[in-house]
Structure 1
Amino acid sequence: MEKNKKILLIIFIITLVVRLVLAFSIPNLTYESYYHLRHVEHIKETGTPLFQDPLSYGGREVLFLPFFHYLMAFFDLFLPTIVITKIIPNILIALITITSYFTAKKITKNETASLLSSLITGFLPILFFTNSFTVETLSLPLTFLTIYAFMNINSKKHLYLYVISFLLLSLTSFSAFLVLIGFGIYLLLSKIENKKTNKAEVEVIIFSLFFFLWVQFLFFKSSFIRKGISFIWQNIPSNIISEYFPTFSIPQALLLVSIIPVLTGAYIVYNSLFHLKNQKAFLLISFVIATTIFTWLKLIMFKQSLAFFGVILAILFASFYNDMETYFNKTKLSGYNRIILPVTVLLLLLSTVIPAISSALQQDTPTNEEIEAYRWLKDHTPKESGVLTTLEEGHLVTYFSQRKNMMDNQFRMVKDVEKRAKDINALFTTPFQTLALDLLQEYNLRYVVFTPSAKEKYGITKINYATRNCFEPIFKGESKIYLVKCEIKRVK
């Protein structure tokens, strides 16, 4: 194995080891992970996706692209749960270091610069969601594998690789649409600048577009018929939409993506747009533009867009380093060439590794004590019971307690999602017992779970209306569970 490939392997292994150490130092998964784990286990048991969910929102239709869940269900047949939830997702994300290397090498032909891109990708803080068992852990690697294969579309083996990766991406995530828009912008700008486009590129883009539309129609036909084009906005309630699409923050972006890739990437984007000296770099910049458009239109979550930006900027760093080396060689600064690499590596490690570890340690996960409370509900409550929790903890109810929740973060296809979002907040903040009982009765909720996470979210120390005559404490500890004993009688 040649030296550079050994270094690339070392970067991959170090990235993976650091991710796994952090993943296992945090005992539990992120809240949304339990939604996906539940669907994986259902496919393992039945062979079919859980499109009719009897527990989420008290019972509803769920629409999603199932490839991620089928893939993990396959691994779940012969591997322990901890392997499929913590090890496999981190392997998938760590593999982006390899894709980044080959993509950067295709653009620059510079081995050292490409290895630096791989190093940046491996320790991007925005990618250090080490305890996340979500679709993004597969869709992100597939997205960049698709882009790399497209760059080499004239090669037969890369054409096959492109077809396979894009087909799987289309069955995994809406990110496939982002890729298509990036291709479209690439073709449009190439036309404007009178750049010759490859016939094979145009053909595979057209094929990809029709396949993607067919897949979306296959899985989301009913949603499209009911909601029209608005179904792509995911039905997020207006009172919490700022949590999913926050106002753009430069300090936050610099922290999550790292300052060096952001600054060098901005330079390369500007340079490429106005000089267009590298067609392959221009393709990546088309994806930067596409991601910007998607973020502005609120078609992609803020953190997902930052993850996509981060990897692209990490790859584009190779162009910056290559230009910097060329500049030093052409000037009287050539004597400093020997120190460029060690200084660059040191700066990259300081600006990425520490924020990455900090990002991983700050993941929002339930505590062991909170999970114990939800497991207790499964063993001590009737199967058809409804349970009030915060929106984020809704998946803990359906996974650990196997009971009906009032709400979770899967909003698509829920008709009264705006009202539920308003009412769930009222149930944790109102001082009026009659209002609370009326809402609990309306949603058939027999139990109320009050955890430290709920206290932190709403800034309260207790549920003000939970008096003993109507709310019996049946589980005590850091988390409390109340049985609702009263009901509102309506006089006709």
Structure 2
Amino acid sequence: MQLSRTQKWLLAIFIITLVTRLILAFTVPNLTYDSYFHLRQVEEIGHSSIPLFEDPLSYGGRTLHYLPFFHYVIALLNLFLPLGLLAKIVPNVLISLLPFIVFALSKKISNNETAALFSAFISGFLPVLFSTNAFTPLSLFLPVAFFALYCFLNIDQKGYALYFLISFFILTVTSSATFLIIVGFMIYLILSVIEKKKIKKPELELIIFSVFFYIWIQFIFFKKVLISQGIHFIWQNVPTQILTQYFPQISILNALLLVSIIPFLAGIFVVYQLLFQSQNQKPFLFISLVISTTLLSWLRLIEFNLALSFFAIILAILFSLFYVYMLELLAKTKISEFKKYLTLIIIILLLPTTILPSINFAEKQNTPLNAEIDAFKWLNENTAKNAKIVGLLEEGNLITYYSQRKNLMDDQFNFVENSEDLFSDLTALFATSFETQALDITSQHGVTHLVLTPHAQRKYEINNFRYQTSRCFKKIYNEETKIYRVDCILDKK
């Protein structure tokens, strides 16, 4: 089959995006810290066919609550390929599919293939999406979410209602962040009423179905959490001391750096035009999603990375309208002859403001060093099965994955009692200078080993624990990472 010029460009964007991502993924040796939680769940499904909802190691033993569809998909693929390879390839392939979906959505609202190609290119090189070593459900959620939106916009065409239902089902069993789309649909209905836009019957039916289906799925998987934590379920029981790390207020500077300046400024211009000056109703759904993302971020109801990722992709789609606006503007002015140079100018502006920041972002991913992983593997071979190990909060998943031992704490906070007290104790073990305080904490929680990685040394500006003594804290591993065995128990009697 002969490909058209546009199809060739689109295929080239996909290949360049994927190759760039894979090169960066395999250049950085390890995965991001949160990836190891998901690796462990995939391995458990591969062994027992059942998700690890009762975890004997996390927090010393607890009940987990999460949506397992992503993990089942990877476990199925793991029958044919090694998990270590899948963890780097599959997320990058999934994110690299975004340009195809963004192209289709952009062409739908702009009716301009060149504009849609620019949007596709931008979506392939958004810095916020260049966590090339992240193995998380977000890599599946984002492309499926925007495919669902494309199906929703084409609801009148045969088969698209079914495609929407299938994709929405996948979303609801992949991530609770589907709530963002639900809120977007609600705002879409409100804007349609305000602007006197006729709401199609199939649209209304799908929106109503989506709302109730989403609520039903969440209730099935998170019933106990909802009952026990109530409204605090929204914040995932994150300790207040680090709540701003998970739900920070989005600043203009952060948005410019992670979305890249050209798509951000162009997108804001288009949003303003559509809300206050233009009568174009085609992009109503995307304006609704911009509002829902901004609102939920401001209320700290969705995580920062998810909010900015979703926001960035929408701005990439809206860039197609910016390109069309610029063409129309130039055609009406005395400098209309410059219209033919617009494409070249945009290319010159986009290349340094998208590709370079994306590569820089990927190179600065927060991943453990090989020396740190070697230390956690050493713990697996040289400690008792019932050992309980303390590392940084983000290292908790390394303890359960590589050491296969109990940790004091990790970043899976849901359904954990006294998470704030635990985090205070964890922080104190790295920050205190008093041996009695450290022994009080280790005795209270049954801690047997302490791990001081280079990452922890930089974070707390220490080379050894300040309270470390050979009598109570014996150094048993002395490389770049240091491991201490707790030999004393504080008797409070």
- Aligned 8 A contact 1:34 1:395 in 2: yes
Q: State the AA in 2 paired with 1:379.
A: E
**Residues 259-408 of structure 1 correspond to what in structure 2 (within 5 A)?**
259-408=261-410
In 2, Cα distance between equivalents of 1:230 and 1:463: 35
**Residues 73-152 of structure 1 correspond to what in structure 2 (within 5 A)?**
73-152=75-154
- Where 1:364 maps in the other structure, the secondary structure is coil
Q: State the AA in 2 paired with 1:191.
A: V
The residue aligned with 1:187 is 189
> Structure 1 residues 397-406 or 466-475, which shifts more?
466-475
Deviation (angstroms), 1:442: 1.1
Any stretches of 5+ residues in structure 1 without a counterpart?
none
2:435 aligned with 1:423: no
In 1, Cα distance between equivalents of 2:300 and 2:197: 31
Q: State the AA in 2 paired with 1:77.
A: L
In 2, Cα distance between equivalents of 1:69 and 1:57: 21
> Structure 1 residues 39-48 or 228-237, which shifts more?
228-237
In 1, Cα distance between equivalents of 2:380 and 2:252: 44
Residue-by-residue CA offset, 1:336-386 (whole Å, 9 max, x unaligned): 122111110111111111100000000000000000000000001011110
2:431 aligned with 1:440: no
The residue aligned with 1:461 is 463
In 1, Cα distance between equivalents of 2:231 and 2:169: 23
In 1, Cα distance between equivalents of 2:461 and 2:150: 47
The residue aligned with 2:163 is 161
- Aligned 8 A contact 1:55 1:398 in 2: yes
The residue aligned with 2:18 is 16
In 2, Cα distance between equivalents of 1:197 and 1:249: 35
Q: State the AA in 2 paired with 1:45.
A: H
> Structure 1 residues 214-223 or 244-253, which shifts more?
244-253
- Where 1:197 maps in the other structure, the secondary structure is coil
- TM-score, reference length from structure 1: 0.98
Identity across matched positions, percent: 50
Deviation (angstroms), 1:225: 1.3
Q: State the AA in 2 paired with 1:305.
A: A
> Structure 1 residues 335-344 or 304-313, which shifts more?
335-344
- TM-score, reference length from structure 2: 0.98
The residue aligned with 1:210 is 212
Q: State the AA in 1 paired with 2:483.
A: I
2:1 aligned with 1:4: no
Residue-by-residue CA offset, 1:224-262 (whole Å, 9 max, x unaligned): 111223212211101111211234322221011011111
Deviation (angstroms), 1:460: 2.0
- Aligned 8 A contact 1:237 1:418 in 2: yes
In 2, Cα distance between equivalents of 1:403 and 1:113: 53
- Aligned 8 A contact 1:276 1:282 in 2: no
**Residues 7-86 of structure 1 correspond to what in structure 2 (within 5 A)?**
7-86=9-88
Q: State the AA in 2 paired with 1:227.
A: Q
> Structure 1 residues 279-288 or 15-24, which shifts more?
279-288
- Aligned 8 A contact 1:33 1:133 in 2: yes
- Where 1:280 maps in the other structure, the secondary structure is coil
- Where 2:433 maps in the other structure, the secondary structure is coil
The residue aligned with 2:240 is 238
In 1, Cα distance between equivalents of 2:265 and 2:37: 37
- Where 2:483 maps in the other structure, the secondary structure is strand
The residue aligned with 1:482 is 484
Residue-by-residue CA offset, 1:102-142 (whole Å, 9 max, x unaligned): 00000001000000000111100000000000111111111
Residue from 200, 203, 207 that aligns with 1:198: 200
In 1, Cα distance between equivalents of 2:237 and 2:365: 25
Residue-by-residue CA offset, 1:462-483 (whole Å, 9 max, x unaligned): 2011111111111110000111
Any stretches of 5+ residues in structure 2 without a counterpart?
none
- What CA RMSD, in Å, does the superposition of the two structures yield over aligned residues? 1.0
- Aligned 8 A contact 2:44 2:51 in 1: yes
Deviation (angstroms), 1:276: 4.6
Residue-by-residue CA offset, 1:57-89 (whole Å, 9 max, x unaligned): 000010001101111111111111233100110
Residue-by-residue CA offset, 1:450-471 (whole Å, 9 max, x unaligned): 0001111222222011111111
- Where 1:332 maps in the other structure, the secondary structure is coil
Residue-by-residue CA offset, 1:272-311 (whole Å, 9 max, x unaligned): 0113522221210100000011111211111211111100
Residue-by-residue CA offset, 1:11-57 (whole Å, 9 max, x unaligned): 01100000000000000000000000000000011000101110000
In 1, Cα distance between equivalents of 2:157 and 2:416: 46
